[in-house]
Amino acid sequence: MKLHRFPVYCLTAALGLATVLFLLSCGGGATNADDPLRIVAGSESKEIEHIIMAWADDNNLAVEMHYKGSVDMMLDMQQESFAFDAVLPANSMWIRLGDAELHRVKDEASIMRSPVVLGVKKSIAEQLGWVGTEVSVNDLLEAVRSGQLSFAMTSSTQSNSGASAYMGLLYALAGRPEALTSEHLADPELGQNIRDLLGGIDRSSGSSGWLKEMFLEKYDSLDAMFNYESMIISANQELVRQGREPLYAIYLTDGQAIADSTLGFVSKPDNAHKREMFVQLRDYLLTPEAQEQIFQTGFRTALIGMNPENPDTSVYNPAWGIDLDRTITPITWPRPEVTMEALQLYQTSFRKPSQTVYLLDVSGSMEGQGLNQLKQAMLGLLNQENAGRYLLQASADDVIVVIPFNDRVVDVWMVQGNDSKDITDLMNRIASLQAGGGTDIYQPIIAGLQLFSQVGRDLNDYLPAIVLLTDGRSQSGSLYDVQNAWSSLRAPFELPPVFCVTFGDADDSQLKEIAEYTVARVFDGRHGLEAAFRKAKGYN
């Protein structure tokens, strides 16, 4: 969350009306710092946050920026108790899905656009014959099937860039119909092709911005990533600074999706007085001055395919495959109900299966409320009806492992697939957990790595991850133990990420050290443990 506080506001009540008008530069008196315009946006909008905040600074206004995944934003919009005044998702589709019943989103405008492209290391693109030529989805499918290419991509059910790439792939594999339908989705050949294609994913994420950061960290072991053109540009600028080979942007000829970041005001009984401020911000972001600033960050601000005058080639570099002359024909998005069906199929049938190890702290400090919250959060995540609401349900090929621990590994429970009886049995085991003992967060991580090593090379058929929850500082062990254990395993696969969930008085420094070593993230569970678990799960 970013908050800029600025004086000064006067409040003037119009006769007979409850609407309060924001007036600029009144000098002295009340300020809206305690009642800011609260915007929830996709992670890609962090690239233009400085533009929004500079406008707020210049106009003595307070704006808060919050960032969420596309699905969470959509689900939040469906609630009467929606906590924000405005939304800025990467695609207007999420507004259509989230606002279908309440119809509260007003004054919408597309602020910026970005094609979702495949950024491939240029040497690999040259080996595949993809530089300076047209590349189709079938070309991509052949490269994946032959083992010549793997790629990173955000989860299609948690992030817009992943959803957009996925819908583009489906559209092309269905033969570029006028609109994708349920009948297309039921085609066995399409199902097999999309499974094979998504099998090429070697790292996932719930955030487009974090996917870019992860790619830079794991650069030596990754070939490519699906992301916004703007994120490919941002990654390349950093790669050039590091003296590394940049990515080459591939615009798939038959499955090109475009993100149209759309800003909308969410009209509620308690925020009518903020609408004028919202309109001022929206109109400013559409001015030539602001659009030029946005364009310089790597987002397109004119109609896709137009050739802006004198583009900055340090941003829109033709050597990176960035093509402003290209006429891009975007896919046609299907009806909302077909979109939701496609996303459900991704989660339950089409995606690469996951193998997730949950490490649950049941030390003595978790006694009482802490353990109860842990059980509630895990049971909520494993309950398939509840998980389906967040598009996080298990597939028939997923593997779920739960390791409760204190100062030792207490037990190891495993479920393969999504059989309701097996999951119910696992939930009952979790519900019976008791707290006691000290805390060692390193031994359960080692146990998780050992489980993965037993799978061997077959682990490459999964997206593996460890999710660690703890409420305290480890009283024994160190990251050095984990590093030694990993070296001794000599595993035929990359070190799996260890996503950490903080709770209670957990030592952030220990968890950040673990997350950095494994190129993962730390999620704060202090203000919502179940939500933190959901976010972590959305990364594999």
For residues 181 and 274, membership in a common domain is answered with no
For residues 82 and 131, membership in a common domain is answered with no
For residues 276 and 183, membership in a common domain is answered with no
pLDDT band at 306 (very low <50, low <70, confident <90, very high): low
Instruction: Report the Cα 483 to chain-centroid distance in Å.
Output: 28
Neighbours of 34 (CB within 10 A): 8
**Which is nearest to 446 in space by CA: 487, 417, 395, 414?**
487
**Which is nearest to 208 in space by CA: 253, 153, 266, 165?**
153
pLDDT mean over 154-160: 93
- Determine, yes or no, domain membership for 303: no
- Determine, yes or no, domain membership for 20: yes
pLDDT at 185: 98
- Determine, yes or no, domain membership for 301: no
pLDDT mean over 5-24: 37
- Helices 275-285/49-58 angle, 10° precision: 120
pLDDT mean over 400-414: 96
The C-alpha atoms of residue 290 and residue 262 are separated, in whole angstroms, by 15
Query: In this structure, are residues 494 and 466 in contact, taking their beta carbons and an 8 Å threshold?
Result: no
Mind listing the pLDDT tens digit for each residue in 449-487?
999 999 888 888 999 999 999 988 888 999 999 999 999
What is the residue range of 74's domain?
2-110+261-296
For residues 137 and 246, membership in a common domain is answered with yes
CATH of the domain at 156: 3.40.190.10
| 3-class SS of residue 439 | coil
Whether the upstream peptide bond of residue 501 has omega within 30° of 0, thus cis, is no
pLDDT band at 22 (very low <50, low <70, confident <90, very high): very low
Query: In this structure, are residues 225 and 161 in contact, taking their beta carbons and an 8 Å threshold?
Result: no
Mind listing the pLDDT tens digit for each residue in 249-299?
999 999 999 989 999 999 999 999 999 999 999 999 999 999 999 999 999
pLDDT at 34: 84
CATH of the domain at 488: 3.40.50.410
The C-alpha atoms of residue 121 and residue 246 are separated, in whole angstroms, by 6
Whether the upstream peptide bond of residue 87 has omega within 30° of 0, thus cis, is no
For residues 372 and 453, membership in a common domain is answered with yes
**Which is nearest to 540 in space by CA: 527, 521, 513, 526?**
521
pLDDT mean over 510-528: 93
**Which is nearest to 85 in space by CA: 283, 294, 260, 277?**
277
- Determine, yes or no, domain membership for 270: yes
The C-alpha atoms of residue 522 and residue 408 are separated, in whole angstroms, by 22
Average pLDDT, the chain: 90
pLDDT mean over 70-82: 91
Q: Please, how many CA atoms are within 13 Å of residue 394, restricted to the half-sphere of its CB?
A: 21
pLDDT band at 194 (very low <50, low <70, confident <90, very high): very high
pLDDT at 331: 87
Amino acid letter for position 209: G
- DSSP string of 77-115, one letter each residue: HTSTT---SEEE-SSHHHHHHHTTTT--EEEEEEEEEEE
For residues 370 and 491, membership in a common domain is answered with yes
* Helix (H) / strand (E) containing 486: helix 479-489
Please give the DSSP secondary-structure letter assigned to residue 346: I
For residues 430 and 516, membership in a common domain is answered with yes
Amino acid letter for position 400: I
pLDDT at 492: 85
Query: In this structure, are residues 70 and 159 in contact, taking their beta carbons and an 8 Å threshold?
Result: yes
- Determine, yes or no, domain membership for 460: yes
With a cut of 60, say whether residue 10 has pLDDT above it: no
pLDDT mean over 158-173: 95
For residues 370 and 404, membership in a common domain is answered with yes
The C-alpha atoms of residue 76 and residue 99 are separated, in whole angstroms, by 10
For residues 378 and 469, membership in a common domain is answered with yes
Instruction: Convert 511-523 to b/e letters by CB count within 10 Å (16 or more is b).
Output: bebbbeebbbbbb
Tokens matching residue 486: 């990993």
pLDDT > 70 fraction of the chain, expressed in percent and rounded: 93
Length of the chain in residues, anyone? 540
pTM equals: 0.87
The C-alpha atoms of residue 195 and residue 302 are separated, in whole angstroms, by 35
Mind listing the pLDDT tens digit for each residue in 237-251?
999 999 999 999 999
- Helices 442-455/479-489 angle, 10° precision: 10
- Determine, yes or no, domain membership for 285: yes
Mind listing the pLDDT tens digit for each residue in 361-392?
999 999 999 999 999 999 999 999 999 989 99
pLDDT at 265: 98
Neighbours of 123 (CB within 10 A): 12
Neighbours of 8 (CB within 10 A): 16
pLDDT mean over 95-113: 94
Structural domain count of the chain:
3
With a cut of 60, say whether residue 534 has pLDDT above it: yes
For residues 106 and 124, membership in a common domain is answered with no
- Determine, yes or no, domain membership for 302: no
- Determine, yes or no, domain membership for 333: yes
pLDDT at 20: 38
pLDDT band at 88 (very low <50, low <70, confident <90, very high): very high
Strands 105-121 and 257-266: antiparallel
Spell out the SS3 assignment of 141-169.
Answer: HHHHHCCCCCEEEECCCCCHHHHHHHHHH
The C-alpha atoms of residue 441 and residue 466 are separated, in whole angstroms, by 12
Query: In this structure, are residues 247 and 320 in contact, taking their beta carbons and an 8 Å threshold?
Result: yes
pLDDT mean over 43-66: 95
For residues 364 and 268, membership in a common domain is answered with no
For residues 338 and 368, membership in a common domain is answered with no
CA distances 235 to 166, 238, 426, 499, 526, Å, are 21, 5, 42, 23, 32
Spell out the SS3 assignment of 41-55.
Answer: ECHHHHHHHHHHHHH
**Which is nearest to 277 in space by CA: 426, 86, 463?**
86
* Helix (H) / strand (E) containing 370: helix 369-382
Which stretches of 393-485 are assigned E, i.e. beta strand? 399-405, 413-416, 463-470
